[in-house]
Amino acid sequence: MQLFKISFGALLVLSFSAVHAQEENQEAYKKRVLETTEVDFLSSYYAQDGANAAVTGGIGTEELTDATGTIVISIPLNDDDVLTIDAGVSAYTSASSSNINPFDGSNAANAFQASSGASSSDLWSNINGIYSHSSTDRNKIWTAKASVSSEYDYFSVGFGGSYTWLFNEKNTELSVNGNIYLDSWKTIYPIELRPGSVYGDANYNPQFIPFDHTNRNSYAVGFGFSQILSKKLQASLALDLVQQSGLLSTPFQRIYFSDKPDVMVEDFQLADDIERLPDTRSKIAAGGRLNYYLNSRVVLRSYYRFYADDWGITSHTASLEIPIKIIDKFTLYPSYRYYTQTAADQFAGYEQHASTDEFYTSDFDLSAYDANQFGFGANYTDIFTKFHIFQFGLKSIDLKYYNYKRNTGLSSNIITAGIKFVQD
């Protein structure tokens, strides 16, 4: 009997040791969330033109060019945690912004002609840090992030986080995210409205009072739901809520009233006031995606989004992208997007506001318009990363082009490029 007790106890110890060893092995061979460091180089070139510049009260050139460069580095800290650093710089030249001060002395000032003033170009810079943690079973992911961005007249600090839960054998996904952005303006007014301005004559009596606060706060929360419906069909839904408060007007955007006399200097009309908008704004957006895998080479990616805010804007966005895998390494991305929106309650065009209005803007981004965008892209992916630069192998290259047109006359073109490297 004593021998049986000893043997039974030894069996329990051996069994426990075996189970523990198996768990340790599973832990030891747990697949990493990110196997190795990845580096993305992203760039874009954007150009637009139009004749409804908000800087000059709804008339004038909207010519603008912008070039950006961004580097994204994702670093695995251990099996479960990833740190991502995203830093970018954007340099732009803007004919409309140059007319914050149109009197450069070289040519007669005109809303449809760029000046050579200091506001004709600027540099925007941004840096984000994102920390991501995945649970051992990879069914729960939370992130925390912080960001800083700056340009000549604008500074922004942001922070936030998200939580994602996968279940039903990872066929179902729920997520929630929240972000806060604290922004501050350096108020740059049109040149004729600044203290000590010498522009105008005895008839010039603008209705202008400087802003008494220059901060803007934005609070956003979003919810997501994704479901794999079959081997070929996947659907997702998203809901976003945003609340803004503070200075929501742009200080250098002019307004011309219909009941005020026109005062001209050279060929340029002096402002009656600047844009005035409510100091709060609530936004809601709801949308969904439906992806259908037609076969091993063609996917249909559809998207719809409804947006509304308490300024009176409602909008609808619908898009379709059809990735086509030509061969294993090359995929083409033709796409189309349609957008339509109603005007904000505060919007009217050039000289359509009255000086007795409480709020007013002639920014055509807040007008009613329809827009169409056509795009085409190409992707090269090499999962074996045969091409190397030092310790990094080339994983993918992306090139995309988009042409965008509004029925208000604004048109734009953008080319984007992305190159991803992974560390050996």
Mean pLDDT by 10 residues, the chain (424 residues): 44 44 52 93 97 96 96 96 97 91 87 82 94 96 97 94 96 98 94 90 91 95 98 97 97 96 94 97 98 96 98 98 95 98 98 97 98 98 85 94 97 98 91
Distance CA 252, CA 352 (A): 19
Distance CA(255)–CA(270), nearest Å, equals 9
In the prediction, which pLDDT does 200 show?
85
pLDDT at 28 (0 to 100): 53
Predicted local confidence at residue 406, as pLDDT: 98
pLDDT of residue 29: 60
3-state secondary structure of 80: coil
Phi, psi of 345 (to 5 degrees): -60, -25
Give bridge partners of residue 146 from the DSSP assignment. Answer: 129, 159
State residue 395's pLDDT score.
94
- pLDDT score for 6: 42
Q: Is-contact 112 49, C-beta < 8 A?
A: no
Beta carbons of 214 and 185 less than 8 angstroms apart: yes
| Exposure of 29 in the CB half-sphere (CA atoms within 13 A) | 5
**What spatial distance separates the first Cα and last Cα of the chain, rounded to whole Å?**
60
pTM of the model: 0.89
Whether the Cβ atoms of residue 130 and residue 147 lie closer than 8 Å to each other: no
pLDDT of residue 242: 98
> Given this model, what pLDDT does residue 322 score?
98
**Nearest CA-CA partner of 370 in 401, 335, 334, 343:** 343
Q: What is the dihedral of CA 341, 113, 401, 342, to 10 degrees?
A: 0
DSSP track, 329-398: SEEEEEEEEEEEEPPPTTB--TT-B-TT-SSBB--GGGS-EEEEEEEEEEEEE-TT--SEETTEEEEEEE
Residue 7 confidence (pLDDT) = 47
